[in-house]
Amino acid sequence: MLGIDTKIKRGSGELAILALLNQEPLHGYEISKRIAQVTGGVLQFNLASLYPLLYRMEKRGWVKGKWEEAKSGRKRRYYHLTRNGKKQLAPLRQEWGLFFQALHRIAGVAHAG
């Protein structure tokens, strides 16, 4: 059974990854770097937390990894958002919006959305 902390981290990570890949395909390291950059380091995913999440999302058919040549010339596994993944974005955004609204109501935690 997953702890609530793990669930929250996994859930937020899924939304963050889907939102990033909705802009462009990225490989794992770029995803973790971009998440840290965009969130000012609040959300951080390292190798151990990122890849199980990506593999889980891939199994669900939300993302699809393809080996492609990076700018550096090295082959990297780029993750592409699938049509199914795109469809998850809106409900996930809504879910998290509601979650933060609820937290705001109960504990005065303001949400950015």
Partner 1 sequence: MPDNQGLIRERLGRLGLETRREEEIVRELSEHLADHAAALEARGVARDAAAREALDSVSNWPELRNEILSAETEEATMNYQMTYRTKVLWLPALVALTLSSSLLAIFQFSGLVPRFYWLSKTGMSVHPFFTFYLPWLIALPLIGAVAAFWSQRAGGKAIHRLLAALAPPIGMLGFFLITPFITLLVYMLIPLFAKGSGHTRVPLTLHAPPMIGVLVVLVSWVLLPAVGLFLGALPFLRKHQPQS
**Binding stretches for partner 1 (CB under 8 A):** 27-29, 32-33, 46-48, 50-53, 55-56, 59-61, 65, 74, 76-77, 83-84, 86-87, 89-90
Q: Between residues 42 and 72, which has the closer beta carbon with respect to partner 1?
A: 72
Compute the least distance from the CB of residue 59 to partner 1, in Å. Answer: 5
Closest CA to 17 of 46, 52, 54: 54
Q: Between residues 12 and 32, which has the closer beta carbon with respect to partner 1?
A: 32
Q: Kindly tell me the number of DSSP H helices and DSSP E strands found in the chain.
A: 4, 3
Compute the least distance from the CB of residue 105 to partner 1, in Å. Answer: 27
Q: Between residues 98 and 103, which has the closer beta carbon with respect to partner 1?
A: 98
Residue type, 15: L
DSSP strand E in 7-105: where? 26-27, 63-69, 75-81
Compute the least distance from the CB of residue 50 to partner 1, in Å. Answer: 8
Dist CA 18 CA 12 (whole Å): 10
